Amino acid sequence: HTPAKPPAAPSLHPAPGCRTPPDIPGVASRISERATSTGHDSKRLVIGRDISIGGEVTSCDRLLVEGRAEIDLPNAQQLEVTASGFFRGSAEVDIADISGQFEGDLIAREQLIVRSGGRLSGIIRYGHIVIEAGGQVSGDMQSIDNAPTPDAGDSPKSSSGKKAKPKAIK
């Protein structure tokens, strides 16, 4: 009796002739697609669709929220909230890409993208902003360039005299 061959492992590569979204003209590349192509996933956290998480996330470069996150994200490169995602809390990132719902304080130092169907509310500061048709924004929104400076007397200061970060809306 000869043992049967084990089944071949499934291929992780697309079938010949299949095109991935970045290869298709006119399809916008999302942060999550760019992140997986760079190979720098060592500090990437994905909160899946049926997952809820609370607390503070530190030492994370890229956060992808497909489920529910009630967290503080003090310093990251990228935040993406997908259409199924919900984020409540505070985040300070370079780039924020919102397709789902964000409630709280957000500082997007470089760019904030609110996709069609995305809903953003709270105290928002951004370098540049893109709002697609159907995207919704509400709250206190200002460009980082136009935000009050400590000399203007409008900004809260911490005990160290530095500009205080906004606190999460509860």
Q: Highest mean pLDDT range out of 12-16, 127-131, 147-151, 164-168?
A: 127-131
**For residues 146 and 154, is the Cβ–Cβ distance under 8 A?**
no
Q: CA 18, CA 88: separation in Å to the nearest integer?
A: 37
| 145: in domain | yes
**Does the residue 119 lie in any domain?**
yes
- Beta bridge partners of residue 71, listed in sequence order: 55, 89
Residue 19 lies in a domain: no
Tens digit of each residue's pLDDT (9 = 90 or more) over 8-58: 544 444 555 544 444 544 444 555 454 444 455 679 999 999 999 999 999
Q: How far apart are CA 47 and CA 85, in angstroms?
A: 9
Domain membership of residue 12 (yes or no) is no
Residue 162: count other Cβ atoms within 10 Å of its Cβ: 10
pLDDT tens for 68-125 read 999 999 999 999 999 999 999 999 999 999 999 999 999 999 999 999 999 999 999 9
Domain that holds residue 109: 39-152
Q: Does residue 21 fall inside a structural domain?
A: no
102 strand-pairing partners:
87, 120
32 is a domain residue: no
Q: Which of 69, 165, 158, 84 is nearest to 118 (CA)?
A: 84
Structurally, the chain folds into a number of domains equal to 1
Q: Which tens digits make up the pLDDT trace of 132-143? A: 999 999 999 999
